[in-house]
A = this chain, B = another copy of it.
Amino acid sequence: MTPLFLNTPAQYAELVNSVDTVLFDCDGVLYLGENLIENAKNLLEMLRSSGKKVIFVTNNSTKSRKDLKKTFDGHGLEASIEECFGSAYASAVYLSEVLKFPKDKKVYVFGHEGLEEELDEVGISHCGGSDPEDRTFTPPLNYADYRPDPSVGAVLCGADHYINLKKITKAVTYLHNPECKLILTNPDATFPIGDGIFPASGAMSAGIVYAAKQTPVVIGKPSKTMMDAVVAHHHIDPARTLMIGDNLHTDIEFGINSGIRTLLVMTGVTTYDQIYGPNPSPVVPTYVIERAGDLVRMSKE
Contact = CB atoms under 8 A, between A and B. Distances in A.
Interface stretch (A21-29, A50-58, A119-127, A159-167): A159-167
Nearest to A167: B163
Interface string A141-173: 101001110000000000001111100110011
A206 interface: yes
A209 B211 contact: no
A176 interface: yes
Contacts of A210: 189, 202-203, 206
Nearest to A176: B197
Contacts of A197: 172-173, 176, 211
A163 B163 contact: yes
A208 to B, nearest CB: 7
Contacts of A168: 163, 199, 203-204
A203 to B, nearest CB: 4
Interface residues of A, number: 37
Given A164-B164, A172-B198, A196-B143, A206 B206 contact: yes
B172 A165 contact: no
A203 B198 contact: no
Interface SS, A side: mixed
A189 B163 contact: no
Contacts of A204: 165, 168, 207
Copies in the complex: 2
B161 A163 contact: no
Contacts of A200: 211
A189 B147 CA distance: 18
A139 interface: yes
A251 B211 CA distance: 19
A172 B200 CA distance: 11
A105 interface: no
A48 interface: no
A55 to B, nearest CB: 29
27 contacts: A139-B161, A140-B161, A141-B198, A143-B194, A143-B196, A146-B196, A146-B198, A147-B196, A163-B163, A168-B199, A168-B204, A169-B199, A172-B190, A172-B197, A172-B198, A172-B199, A172-B203, A173-B198, A176-B196, A176-B197, A189-B213, A197-B211, A203-B207, A203-B208, A203-B210, A204-B207, A207-B207
Interface of A: 139-141, 143, 146-148, 161-165, 168-169, 172-173, 176, 189-190, 193-194, 196-200, 202-211, 213
